[in-house]
Structure 1
């Protein structure tokens, strides 16, 4: 086992902006090791205890995360000595303590953040929660109610204030340690984006990635029985996991061919009703000032995000 099992790079979010795809693409690279556990959230939760949660409904996410150093380092234990280590946790963008804790442990770590038009991101989050049967409200229109759960949970309205979330990191790290990307760039030219990310973290940027799999697609489930067989938490998946050693299962997870087969099957069972333009415009208005501030911070023209 390597002596210093701490990440060389972090994908810090935002959620529903392509981070799952980037996480899986990086796993293809022979000189990169990405943890099998996506979103360990260690740097966000390390100093937090269960009793610190006034809202006990949020404890499930805490208990699903990795909150002690030994367990966090164990996530990297299967890496080869010459591999770069990394992980993806979208919560780091909005966890108040994350930037300071990241600097405490890995002050030279390279980070990447990916952003998407915030109304589109929020709607994609809605569809994701529909897929896993955890909708905060039955209708997306509820986001317009500022007294609703959409405005109190970190992963809903709040996560879309990218400038507010990202600017805190520059209090702890120089700008050259944090690269920012747009979802549309990843969608339209994934090879260029992945080459830029691999170059940023210090890996061979000439590696040719396989982009044939559509990861983490969201939507309403068409057939629930079918989903129980092949979906996110399927009987088949759990059966395979229980029958073979953990290392063999990890190897299967990293196979692009296996991932493509299962992902294609899952995606065919999803329905994605479109976001109504009027509703998109109203949601975008909440983010208008933050979008303008983000544009200046990352030196990218984001005016097209404001036109609905």
Structure 2
């Protein structure tokens, strides 16, 4: 059994800018990141079932033996049983592994994930935005960052774990990347910070017609065909709503309350204060 060398992993969290950051790190001559960046090998449905160690090892073919080798499957921390990785199993093979958790204001992350899921039409029973947190636990529970991080801290030491935020990258991308370089123990490098990948479109909610199409298999196939034969702007006007995602105030208050202590603990672990997440902690933001 060939087990590839693996120096670091980014196991969390979805919709927090990992695609952009892994792309930047992959520019560094001393860092190698798999293609795809999210091989998902340690997902329960894949681990030595759909994928073998040989499959995983092939993703590292061609890597410089001196380079720090890593992958970025953020769905390892998605609160969805087929996706959620077992830290104990990862530790069993890679006890010296370094872990990077990229977080984001939970309120903004939930919106971004919902938009992403509706664009993918997966899963097909995804609820309308107003009910996504109350009727579909994956959105809120994936945002319980500290709950996920502590699962990994049961096996990995603090020195092996780095928790950072997308907001830090937006504020000062060079400083955040240098923090990652120090954590991975690689030399400084000059990056192109203009690149932004996998960003959400405008926070637009589905039109009623679009919701119908996504739930009806025949209508969905017809819509896909229409995209191939009709001008794109016609399809856009037909399917897309101009109304943006709007929180119901009662739901938003509930969303802020549920992971409150978890979010504070995650920020404290990252040496940041609550004002860093103004949508989650508006009162702290106003006082700062």
- State TM-score, norm by structure 2: 0.74
Q: Secondary structure at the match of 2:244?
A: coil
Aligned mate of 1:289, from 239, 261, 277: 261
Aligned to 1:87: 71
Structure 1 equivalent of residue 55 of structure 2 = 71
Deviation at 1:75, TM superposition (A): 0.6
RMSD: 3.2
Q: CA deviation at 1:140?
A: 0.6
| Counterpart position of 2:7 | 8
- Are the counterparts in 1 of residues 40 and 46 from structure 2 also a CA contact under 8 Å? no
Match of 1:113 among 101, 112, 135: 101
Deviations 1:70-123, CA, capped at 9 Å, x for gaps: 111111012123221110011233566521122111111111111111121011
The answer to whether residue 111 in structure 2 is matched with residue 123 in structure 1 is yes
- In the superposition, the TM-score normalised over structure 1's length comes to 0.69
Instruction: Kindly provide the CA deviation profile for residues 170-195 of structure 1, in whole angstroms up to 9, marking residues without a partner as x.
Output: 11111011011011001121111111
* Map of 1:209 onto structure 2: 191
Unaligned runs of 5+ in 1: 51-62, 230-268
CA contact (8 A) 1:92 1:99 kept: no
- Separation in 2 of the partners of 1:92 and 1:275? 29
How far residue 157 of structure 1 moved from its aligned partner, in angstroms, is: 2.1
Distance 2:269 2:9 in 1: 20
Aligned residue number for residue 170 of structure 1 = 153
Q: Does 1:142 align with 2:131?
A: yes
Query: What are the equivalent positions in structure 2 for 1:55-66 lying under 5 Å apart?
Result: none
Alignment of 1:209-288 (within 5 A): 209-219=191-201, 273-276=244-247, 278=249, 279-288=251-260
Work out whether residues 218 and 272 of structure 1, in 8 Å CA contact, stay in contact via their aligned partners in 2.
no
d(CA) in 2 for partners of 1:301, 1:292: 8
State the match for 1:301 in structure 2.
273
User: Does residue 22 of structure 1 match 2:21?
Assistant: yes
Cα distance in 2 for partners of 1:271, 1:127 equals 14
- Aligned equivalents of 2:45, 2:127: Cα separation in 1: 33
- The alpha-carbon deviation at position 292 of structure 1 amounts to 2.5
Computing the radius of gyration from Cα coordinates, the structure with the larger value is 2
2:168 to 171, 180, 185: 185
CA distance in 1, matches of 2:22, 2:226: 27
Using the TM superposition, give the Cα deviation of residue 217 of structure 1 relative to its aligned residue in structure 2, in angstroms. Answer: 1.5
Q: Distance in 2 between matches of 1:90 and 1:97?
A: 10
- Work out the number of aligned pairs and report it: 245
Q: Is the 8 A contact 2:13 2:142 kept in 1?
A: yes
Q: Distance in 2 between matches of 1:272 and 1:174?
A: 46
